[in-house]
Amino acid sequence: MADFSELQEKLSGIREQVRAGLQELKDSRSVYEYRKNVMDGKTGLVGALMRETGKLPKEDRAEYGKLVNRLKDWVSEQFDTMDEKLKKAEMELRYAAEDIDVTLPAKKHAAGYLHPVTKVTNEIIDIFSAMGFEIYEGTEIEKDYYNFTALNTPQDHPARDMQDTFYLTDEFLLRTQTSAGQIHVMEKKKPPIKILSPGKVFRSDDDATHSPMFTQMEGLVVDKGITLGDLQGMLDVLVEKMFGEGTRTRLRPSYFPFTEPSVEVDVSCFECQGKGCRLCKGTGWIEVLGAGVVNNKVLEGCGIDTELYSGFAFGIGLERIAMLKYGFNNIKLLFESDLRVLDQISD
């Protein structure tokens, strides 16, 4: 049976032990760990003291319990104080580390720019929507029928050779021209029709001025009494806004199966004002698009009464316009996303 005074001595030993142990602790985490250890009900220096009670004579037990509880309170207080002290120091360290100098200049944000082809597309859309045009976006995979046959270019037509086509199956292909959209629109909508159709087109063609994928903008107007004069009137508005005031248009006869008559549209050179320079190869004119009066065969194929209605259409290659506007001589520069190039046209 343990001696009471011996136990008392043991308790004050423990008190000293805990006091010394606490002094060793460097952070709040170790205070937590140490406390768990010391207070453990089975193995803890303090936590397990009550288990000794049974070893004492009955008359000493109450007194011993009191002493142990007092010790527990004291130990607990010591831990709280140490925990508070260390946590405060830790917070101060953290605040110092996270201190922000609000006078530092902010990091520069490098903003991107719209791609030249996107800019040209948006510009044309802005100009034509002011004239009441709607946008129709077709699909890049198209039926042979819409891309060719319905545009008066049947299977054995020599004009099919004008465009080197990527066929997917006998029936499906990658559209070679946004003109395919004309048919979709006319099948669904009755005149008056005024649409603009931008999109990617594909041809097996690859050199400095041709890419297998490029972008076109199609225009189609069908209404009563539409003539080539209406086309030229609208194009005059377009080129003045795109290339600057005073830019004029010139129509030259051409051939497209879906227009009759067909024209090639030139603009007066915006670089030399028509005097002749390197850009216009000394001619004073630059070719920008194909157009014409919609062939009656095309209108009739879509169920439009050609006694009542007529139309005009045009197709613009947008990379070509971007190259002219921004002075590129190689179409590949438009697909390489080279920042040195894009930075120069970041107006």
Provide, rounded to whole angstroms, the least separation between the CB of residue 172 and ligand DAH.
19
Q: Does 153 sit near ligand DAH (CB under 6 A)?
A: no
Residue with CB nearest ligand DAH? 315
Q: Which of residues 56, 238, 267, 291 is near ligand DAH by CB under 6 A?
A: 291
Among the listed ranges 70-78, 93-101, 307-315, 319-327, the one in contact with ligand DAH (CB under 6 A) is 307-315
Strands 259-268 and 134-135: unpaired
Nearest CB to ligand DAH, comparing residues 31 and 318: 318
Nearest CB to ligand DAH, comparing residues 290 and 301: 290
Provide, rounded to whole angstroms, the least separation between the CB of residue 217 and ligand DAH.
10
Calculated CA dihedral for residues 16, 19, 24, 28, nearest 10 degrees: 150
- Which residues are paired to 193 by β-bridges? 222
| Span 91-130, contacts to ligand DAH by CB under 6 A | none
Work out whether the CA dihedral 175, 181, 184, 187 comes out positive or negative. Answer: negative
Q: Does 290 sit near ligand DAH (CB under 6 A)?
A: yes
Strands 193-202 and 134-135: parallel
Provide, rounded to whole angstroms, the least separation between the CB of residue 122 and ligand DAH.
20
Amino acid at 313: A
Distances (CA, A) of 95 to 88, 89, 91, 98, 100: 11, 10, 6, 5, 9
3-state secondary structure of 146: helix
Q: Does 197 sit near ligand DAH (CB under 6 A)?
A: no
Provide, rounded to whole angstroms, the least separation between the CB of residue 311 and ligand DAH.
10
- Which residues are paired to 292 by β-bridges? 262, 313
| Span 224-283, contacts to ligand DAH by CB under 6 A | 256, 259
Provide, rounded to whole angstroms, the least separation between the CB of residue 347 and ligand DAH.
29
Nearest CB to ligand DAH, comparing residues 142 and 218: 218
Provide, rounded to whole angstroms, the least separation between the CB of residue 183 and ligand DAH.
11
Q: Does 181 sit near ligand DAH (CB under 6 A)?
A: no
Nearest CB to ligand DAH, comparing residues 179 and 215: 179
Q: How far apart are the first and last CA of the chain?
A: 97
Q: Does 311 sit near ligand DAH (CB under 6 A)?
A: no
Q: Does 47 sit near ligand DAH (CB under 6 A)?
A: no
DSSP letters, 158-205, are GGGGGS---BSSSSEEE-S-TTHHHHHHHHH-PSSEEEEEEEEEE-S-
Q: Does 177 sit near ligand DAH (CB under 6 A)?
A: yes
Nearest CB to ligand DAH, comparing residues 47 and 317: 317
Query: Helices (DSSP H) in 25-114: which residue ranges?
Result: 28-39, 58-97
Nearest CB to ligand DAH, comparing residues 259 and 268: 259
Query: Helices (DSSP H) in the chain: which residue ranges?
Result: 4-24, 28-39, 58-97, 116-129, 144-147, 180-188, 228-243, 296-301, 318-326, 339-342
CA 244 to chain centre: 31
Q: Which of residues 148, 202, 214, 314 is near ligand DAH by CB under 6 A?
A: 314
Provide, rounded to whole angstroms, the least separation between the CB of residue 326 and ligand DAH.
22
The count of residues interacting with ligand DAH (CB under 6 A) is 11
Locate 243 and state its tokens.
């290339």
Q: Does 179 sit near ligand DAH (CB under 6 A)?
A: yes
Q: Which of 137, 144, 122 is nearest to 185 (CA)?
A: 137
Q: Does 191 sit near ligand DAH (CB under 6 A)?
A: no
Positions that interact with ligand DAH (CB under 6 A): 177, 179, 218, 256, 259, 290-292, 313-315
